[in-house]
Copies of this chain bind each other. A is one copy, B any other.
Amino acid sequence: MLTERQLEVVFSVVYEYIRTGEPAGSRTISKKYLRGCSPATIRNEMADLEEMGYFYQPHTSAGRLPTSKAYRLYVDAIMQRRRTAPAETEEWRRSIRESRQGIESILAYISRLLGQATNCVGVAALSALEEVQIQRVSFLRLGGNTVLLLLVLDGGLVHHSNISLPCELSQDTLDELGRRITTIAEGHQWSEVRDVLLRYVFEGLERMWDSCREAIVQMDALLNRRRSRLFVGGAQHILSLPDFQDIGKFQTVLSLLEQEHALADMVERYSVKDGVSVTIGDENAEAGMEQLSLLLSPSSGSGARAILGLIGPLRMDYEKSISILEALAEDLDDVLVQ
């Protein structure tokens, strides 16, 4: 267990490093944060804390840098405290409401806002579509066996996908199929009606059983897939951070962001039911995330489930980032509830 003063030293080093980006030396800490102690005292504490795994030195004659263990301590302390909402909250809320063009463009917009406000990469994931109420289902013949499946979900969320059916159906048949599915599914979640649909929809359409079944299966695939729809925004802002002046580090981030599927999986995996979750550096098992932190906050609004997140350097301003993320998640809740 750490003493009170040791805690203060850890917090000071983390805070100082986050502020300046430079390794923190004993002199600085003594002068700025712990006036009661001389640099020598701090040096002793630092040596102990380094042994305990809270700090490391890039080279012998440099100050100390925090390890993930130190960041963890720091972040946990922040999470205890009450945070003040950022001043721009109202402005954001207004601009989100104004830009309301369906949830997808809202999420794209919020991911950009997140990136811009924090100088991190903003992400927004939309998932658990099978829990969203269905409003309408249509099929449109595109030619041959190819059919456009058009799904309108609660809140104006539109999904569409080209599907192939085992045999060619006329547009009239497809309309009939769409009407029947809509009648049954309207106002319900997909998970509630999937099995019903598979059993009852097709009275009078027995000849097309195979095709109808295939259509339902494809809908299921569309709605039920693990993959969330992912929006990434504001990647350019992290270039202004000194941490990414090195082109190699930035490239790591970029190639991470390119792998949309892996990223979406990670977002799903590391988010918690409610409240902000912070995953620091090597706490994250994902390759490439060793030097990055991941902040996630689910949006608990009705309708679609969304997760907002931030990806940034270990030494991001956690306090600011967390409160911005919280504020925007709340804004999103409001918009989703309508």
A245: interface (CB < 8 Å): yes
Question: A136: nearest residue on chain B (CB-CB)?
Answer: B140
**Could you tell me the distance between the alpha carbons of A245 and B138 in the complex, rounded to whole angstroms?**
50
Q: Chain A, 141-154, contact with B by CB distance < 8 Å: what is the 0/1 string?
A: 01100101010100
A-B residue pairs in contact (CB < 8 Å), sample of 23: A100-B162, A101-B162, A102-B160, A102-B161, A102-B162, A135-B140, A136-B140, A138-B138, A140-B156, A142-B155, A142-B156, A143-B338, A146-B156, A148-B152, A150-B150, A150-B152, A150-B158, A156-B160, A158-B158, A158-B160, A235-B254, A239-B251, A239-B254
Residues in B neighbouring A152, C-beta threshold 8 A: 140, 148, 150
Residues in B neighbouring A100, C-beta threshold 8 A: 162
Question: A160: nearest residue on chain B (CB-CB)?
Answer: B158
Which A103-149 residues have a C-beta within 8 angstroms of B? Answer: 135-136, 138, 140, 142-143, 146, 148
**A236 CB contact (under 8 Å) in B102, B162, B245, B255:** B255
A142-B155, A152-B140, A152-B150 are contacts. A247–B236 as well, Cβ < 8 Å? Answer: no
A interface size (C-beta, 8 A):
30
Contacts A102-B161, A142-B156, A148-B152 known; list 17 others, CB within 8 Å: A100-B162, A101-B161, A102-B162, A136-B140, A138-B138, A140-B156, A142-B155, A143-B338, A146-B156, A148-B158, A150-B150, A150-B158, A158-B158, A158-B160, A236-B254, A239-B247, A239-B250
Question: A138: nearest residue on chain B (CB-CB)?
Answer: B138
A258: interface (CB < 8 Å): yes
**Could you tell me the distance between the alpha carbons of A192 and B179 in the complex, rounded to whole angstroms?**
30
Residues in B neighbouring A148, C-beta threshold 8 A: 102, 152, 156, 158
**Could you tell me the distance between the alpha carbons of A154 and B329 in the complex, rounded to whole angstroms?**
38
**A162 CB contact (under 8 Å) in B138, B156, B245, B254:** B156
**Could you tell me the distance between the alpha carbons of A272 and B252 in the complex, rounded to whole angstroms?**
37
**Could you tell me the distance between the alpha carbons of A100 and B142 in the complex, rounded to whole angstroms?**
12
What's the minimum C-beta distance from A225 to chain B, rounded to whole angstroms?
13
Residues in B neighbouring A245, C-beta threshold 8 A: 247
Q: Chain A, 317-338, contact with B by CB distance < 8 Å: what is the 0/1 string?
A: 0000000000000000000001
**Could you tell me the distance between the alpha carbons of A245 and B248 in the complex, rounded to whole angstroms?**
9
